[in-house]
């Protein structure tokens, strides 16, 4: 049984390679671009969506099959082809280079797995089944998508505004930590769900002990 260590990776401007140009590769490329990775796609054929990305210069496109050496300098590698021989070659080269590599739907040839991801502003929820049943992760993502409204996104925006003044007013970490929990456990999310930001700021002011007004 594989035990994974969950982690969020900063991919901005990191070189990443996707081998394959089908629908599965398309989803992987979109995820990399959302993380602002420098993405190269290697495949003799592309989906229309990937063609558009290539035409817009959002990805680098090598219009051919994978060749040994194509992974040089890559930070992360994703292989999404239906050709077993190529999948094995990509795995071997990437592991020899000590790169992060995921051969889609071939867990033994992955040193990382990608979770199902839900994003709402700065809120990111990653759901993994350790590669056992990705469909379950997708269904859970869909459930959370319905249950978590825009109030969570707005709360995090307010929290970002609050962090610096809170640190200035209350330098003790343990006290700040307790206030954050008190704030999260308050009625603030219900208030934001109603669109009442004025009352939300009043709640913050009451909890932290100083006026929290817009900058």
The pLDDT assigned to 214 comes to 80
In percent, how much of the chain has pLDDT > 70?
99
Domain 15-114 listed as CATH 3.40.50.720: yes
Identify the band that residue 201 occupies on the pLDDT scale cut at 50, 70 and 90.
Answer: very high
Nearest one of 97, 140, 144, 85 to 120, comparing CA atoms: 144
Interval 41-55: pLDDT, tens: 999 999 999 999 999
Interval 130-165: pLDDT, tens: 888 889 999 999 999 999 999 999 999 999 999 999
Interval 80-120: pLDDT, tens: 999 999 999 999 999 999 999 999 989 899 999 888 888 88
6 within 8 A of 34, measured Cβ to Cβ: no
Question: Burial level of 161, CB count in 10 A (0-12/13-18/19+)?
Answer: middle
Identify the band that residue 1 occupies on the pLDDT scale cut at 50, 70 and 90.
Answer: low
**How many Å apart are CA 15 and CA 77, to the nearest integer?**
9
Instruction: Parse the chain into domains and list their residue ranges.
Output: 15-114, 150-208
Mean pLDDT for 68-85 is: 97
């Amino acid at each position: 049984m594989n035990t994974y260590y969950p982690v969020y990776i900063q991919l901005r401007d990191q070189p990443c390679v996707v081998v394959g140009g089908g629908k599965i590769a398309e989803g992987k490329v979109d995820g990399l671009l959302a993380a602002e990775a420098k993405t190269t796609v290697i495949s003799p054929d592309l989906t229309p969506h990937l063609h558009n990305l290539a035409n817009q210069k959002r990805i680098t496109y090598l219009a051919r099959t994978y060749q040994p050496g194509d992974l040089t300098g890559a930070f992360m590698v994703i292989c999404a082809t239906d050709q077993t021989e190529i999948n094995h070659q990509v795995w071997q080269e990437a592991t020899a280079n000590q790169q992060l590599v995921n051969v889609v739907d071939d867990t033994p040839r992955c040193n990382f797995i990608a979770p199902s991801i839900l994003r709402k502003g700065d809120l990111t929820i990653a759901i993994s089944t350790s590669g056992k049943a990705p469909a379950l992760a997708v269904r859970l993502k869909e459930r959370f998508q319905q249950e978590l409204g825009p109030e969570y996104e707005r709360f995090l925006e307010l929290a970002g505004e609050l962090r610096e003044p809170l640190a200035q007013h209350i330098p003790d970490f343990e006290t700040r930590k307790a206030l954050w929990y008190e704030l999260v456990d308050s009625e603030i999310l219900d208030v934001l769900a109603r669109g009442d930001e004025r009352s939300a700021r009043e709640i913050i002011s009451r909890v932290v002990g100083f006026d929290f007004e817009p900058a």
